[in-house]
Chains A and B, each alone.
Chain A
Amino acid sequence: MIVVENLIGGLLFGATYSLVAIGFTLIFGVLNRLNIAHGATIMVAAFAGAYVSLRLGGHTSFAILALAFAASVITGGVVGMLVWLVAFAPLRKASPLAPFVTSAAVALILEELFVQVSRRVPLFSPEFSSFPSPLEDLAFNVGPIFIRGAYMVIFIVAAALMALLHWLITKSSMGRAIRAVEENPTVSWLLGINVRKVELTVFAAASAIAGAAGCLVGVSTGTVAPSMGANLLLTGFVIIVLAGLGSLYGAMICGLLVGMIEMTIVGVVSASMKEAVLFIILFAVLVVRPQGLFAKFAAQRD
């Protein structure tokens, strides 16, 4: 029974991982670069949500939770645009190493900054700050299986966001432009698509989604911490490689998969093994099937 419970919990919680990975893979698809600051963006957004919730006393009210969620999404989007402006826009012609380093530097700056913020702002506490929400005491029992209410809410919100993104990518004109740039930036540019604008939009959208993920993770664990970004970034790495870089729908499915694997290992084996198992799976997939499980592009091989 405990395995089933963990699998269901993991599936529901994995939706946040899907959100993290979608943003990551979207940025990779359009720029062909990894955004190392993605994790830090999530962390900052989660802090914004926690601030709203702590300030307004969000322990009981769903309205305040919604407000905190909005704050996280907006903060995520704004931080994402800043990351693009500082770390990616000036380096379009440079080698792939340069944006990797600048975005890693931004991640370092944000993380160190929020270590200080959580020490100095009286609302927060050093190491782990709390993220109060009315979901903490909510729970369901489906037959013999116990399901946390927070996980249900997370799954529903995440599914709604993914549906919205799907609609934007397939139906809107901006979505068409994004897909065109993904396919071939030079030809898109020749056809009159404003590539810089597309990049900025993708950063804003991906980071806003990441902000939503940050809020949901914060709500489900009840805490936010400056180090949460780095952990989510590594999980995001695993997911997008499993899915195949640039594959949006693969990232959604693999996020759920990783959530299930992780929660089952934590519940059944031990918490310290979860990263090792995930990375061994990643390693095996890279060696056996480097293009990922849901390949869109063929991986470069010798």
Chain B
Amino acid sequence: MAYFLSVAETCGLNVILALSVYATFMVGQFSLAQVGFWSIGAYTTGILIALYGFPLLPSLLISAVLCAVIGLIVGYPCLRIRGIYLAMATVAFSEVVRVFFNNFELKIPVGGLVLGPGGPLGFRGIPVVTRWPQILVAFVLLIALFAWLERSRIGLAVKSIREDEIAAACAGINVVAMKVGTFAFGAAIAAIGGGMYATYVSSVTPDNFGFHLALISIFFVAVGGSERFIGPVIGAVVLTVLPDLLRFAGDFRMVLYGIIVLAITVAFPRGIDGVWTTLAHRMRETRPLPVAHAGRS
């Protein structure tokens, strides 16, 4: 039972990461910066709780606001560039954050112990204050938020930007504000997720948040589907449970994991959420053959 609970908890945390990636993806932006915000959130929350004795909720909110502000500052110049260029810039951002924490030391004696981030050795001894109830609350709130957002005017505006930016601008939507806004929004969600992650596992190192995690976070969205918010949720859950189902493969578990991600993406480029539309599209493509050819015996 404890095992299933821990898988469910990890699923919940990964759903938060996936939704933070999706938040910028909604406007058609492709960002790998979420991992950077995730680690900023993890460290900020960890420092506030472990070193200054803050409770969980205020520290998460402070982390979220901090990352939203950084998101605005980074996002404004970044979002003037698009597509591949943005992906590169956001990779650069995440790597700079990682290197920063690799060189960041802040040791403070707390109750007889010296705690705090210790460069490449990481940050140990963060109090474990996030358990399944907190994750469940965050999960439900986020799902509700995204469900509301998708049906709201903002959701419509966001969708129209993804479909056709110029048309959206012509319809009076402030494209740049929308893009920067969703970027900061995604950053805040990532910060909350990172903060919960840090207070769940109790120790983080800068190498937890490398390029690898950035790719995995994109896998969540791509495998699940990027058209509705439910896609990343499915993707995160499937790809969190998958390594546990593949235990029989032993050391080659992650190889098999990669093969399955590859196979799903090749078979269903729209993700699991888009399976039905992909299949329907294929059915339509294979038109019945003309009688003259079909009747050849």
Chain A residues within 8 Å of B, Cβ to Cβ: 28, 34, 36, 86-87, 90-91, 94-98, 100-102, 104-109, 112-113, 116, 119, 230, 233-234, 237-238, 241, 245, 272-273, 275-276, 279-280, 282-283, 286-287, 290, 299-302
Given contacts A87-B266, A237-B88, A286-B92, 9 further A-B pairs with CB under 8 A are A96-B83, A101-B261, A101-B265, A105-B219, A112-B254, A234-B95, A275-B99, A276-B95, A302-B176
C-beta contact mask, B74-96 vs A, less than 8 Å → 1, else 0? 00011111111101110111011
Bound-complex Cα distance A109 to B73 (A): 36
Chief secondary structure at chain B's binding surface: helix
**CB nearest to A106 among chain B residues:** B262
A112-B255, A275-B99 known; A286+B261 contact, CB < 8 A: no
A241/B215 contact (C-beta < 8 A), A101-B222, A273-B99, A275-B95 known:
no
- Is B212 positioned at the interface, with any CB of A under 8 Å from its CB? yes
Report how many A-B pairs have Cβ atoms within 8 Å: 138
- A116-B251, A283-B93 known; A94 vs B84 contact (CB < 8 Å): no
Question: Please, how many angstroms separate the alpha-carbon atoms of A91 and B263 in the complex?
Answer: 12
| 25 A-B interface contacts by CB (under 8 A) | A28-B84, A90-B266, A97-B226, A100-B30, A102-B266, A104-B218, A105-B262, A106-B258, A107-B215, A112-B254, A116-B255, A119-B251, A237-B92, A273-B103, A275-B99, A279-B95, A280-B96, A283-B89, A283-B93, A290-B81, A290-B85, A299-B85, A300-B83, A301-B80, A301-B81
Instruction: Give the interface size bracket for B toward A.
Output: 35 or more
Contact mask B8-40 → A, CB, 8 Å, 1/0? 000000000000000000000010000000000
Flag if A300 contacts B262 (CB, 8 Å). Answer: no
B146 within 8 A of A: no
Shortest A40–chain B CB gap in Å is 10
Interface residue ranges of B221-242 to A (CB < 8 Å):
221-223, 226
Residue B276 is within 8 A (CB to CB) of chain A in the complex: no
Q: How far is the CB of B96 from chain A (nearest CB, A)?
A: 5
Say whether A109 contacts B258, CB under 8 Å: yes
B87 touches A276 (CB 8 A): no
B139 within 8 A of A: no
Q: How far is the CB of B50 from chain A (nearest CB, A)?
A: 24
Task: Please name the residue on chain A nearest to B260 by beta carbon.
Answer: A105
Of A106, A280, A286, most B-chain CB atoms within 10 Å = A286
A34 adjacent to B215 (CB under 8 Å)? no
Known contacts A104-B219, A287-B77; is-contact A301 B82 (Cβ 8 Å): yes
Look across to chain B and name the residue whose beta carbon is closest to the beta carbon of A113: B255
Partner of B222, one of A98, A230, A245: A98
